[in-house]
């Protein structure tokens, strides 16, 4: 990635990780991260390179960033920026404000956004914690296990607490008793996916997650899915795992 002379930019966590792994002279001073969960170890690594990391929540329809804060030990995305409004209703995040798009431009025609009383449904789920926004995940990443709602991102956030886990994605697989159970797919650094490492992950999950939320199996994300873009495709990962699982 060409970053000659760049001091401030916005990235997804995977991009920043790749930049740091290239071991080149880095002129970056501040980076706004978003688009997926920010591993704490990534922020620490960036700090070692003199890079100040910020967490943000946003979407294209709002001209990107809606909330922001400097990355710290709390998994929150900060306070609402000026000229933007955000509300959480039954864990669903709605936005509006001066930066909200007029609509989608397709084939020479403007298609207005679908709004409810001026509010745009982001299809993201969240909650407030000490006046800061916490992103629970995407509504379409939620599944039911044993009659309980499970957010993939909640499990992924726990797995990313392990210093050797660079990326984590949960795929729900069908289960005769529970309906669905979570399976973890991981990108690791500094270790292999061994029985002893799986035991470490199980211990970590036991201390943070209820039983029905704990992964029943672990897989390493195949290299071909890691190198296809700046973000791993959940759809492609799900298709690969379900073929492997069966």
For 116-157, write each residue's pLDDT tens digit: 999 999 999 999 999 999 999 999 999 999 999 999 999 999
Tell me the C-alpha distance between 226 and 18, whole Å: 11
At 152-205, the pLDDT tens digits run: 999 999 999 999 999 999 999 999 999 999 999 999 998 899 999 999 999 999
Pairing label, strands 148-151, 165-175: unpaired
Q: pLDDT value at position 127?
A: 96
Name the band, by pLDDT with cuts 50, 70 and 90, for residue 245.
Answer: confident
| Residue ranges of the chain assigned to CATH 3.30.300.30 | 142-245
Angle at alpha carbon of residue 16, lines to 14 and 17, rounded to 5°: 65
Stated pTM of the model: 0.84
| Centroid of chain to Cα 8 | 21
Q: pLDDT value at position 246?
A: 67
Name the band, by pLDDT with cuts 50, 70 and 90, for residue 62.
Answer: very high
| Residue ranges of the chain assigned to CATH 3.40.50.12780 | 8-138
Nearest one of 188, 180, 95 to 133, comparing CA atoms: 95
Name the percent of the chain lying above pLDDT 90. 85
Which residue(s) pair with 106 in the sheet?
A: 109
Question: In the CATH scheme, what is the homologous superfamily, with its name and number, of domain 8-138?
Answer: ANL, N-terminal domain (3.40.50.12780)
Q: Where are the alpha helices (DSSP H) in the chain?
A: 13-21, 40-48, 152-159, 195-206, 223-226, 234-245
Which residue(s) pair with 145 in the sheet?
A: 148
CATH number of 142-245: 3.30.300.30
Q: pLDDT value at position 23?
A: 66
């Amino acid at each position: 990635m060409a970053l000659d002379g760049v001091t401030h930019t916005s990235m997804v966590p995977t991009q920043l990780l790749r930049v740091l792994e290239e071991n080149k002279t880095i002129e970056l001073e501040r980076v706004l991260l978003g688009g997926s969960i920010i591993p704490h170890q990534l922020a620490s690594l960036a700090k070692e390179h003199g890079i100040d990391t910020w967490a943000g929540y946003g979407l294209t329809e709002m001209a990107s960033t809606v909330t922001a804060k400097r990355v710290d030990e709390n998994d929150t995305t900060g306070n609402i920026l000026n000229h933007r409004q955000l509300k959480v209703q039954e864990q669903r995040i709605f936005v509006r404000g001066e930066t909200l798009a007029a609509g989608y431009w397709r084939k020479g025609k403007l298609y207005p956004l679908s709004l409810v009383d001026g509010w745009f449904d982001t299809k993201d789920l969240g909650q407030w914690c000490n006046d800061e926004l916490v992103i629970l995940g995407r509504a379409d990443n939620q599944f039911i296990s044993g009659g309980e709602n499970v957010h993939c991102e909640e499990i992924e956030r726990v797995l990313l607490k392990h210093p050797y886990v660079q990326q984590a994605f949960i795929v729900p697989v069908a289960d005769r008793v529970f309906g669905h159970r979570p399976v973890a797919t991981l990108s690791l650094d500094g270790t292999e996916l061994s029985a002893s490492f799986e035991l470490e992950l199980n211990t970590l999950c036991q201390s943070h997650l209820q039983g029905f939320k704990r992964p029943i199996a672990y897989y390493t994300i195949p290299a071909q899915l890691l190198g296809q873009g700046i973000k791993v495709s959940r759809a492609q990962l799900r298709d690969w795992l379900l073929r492997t699982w069966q």
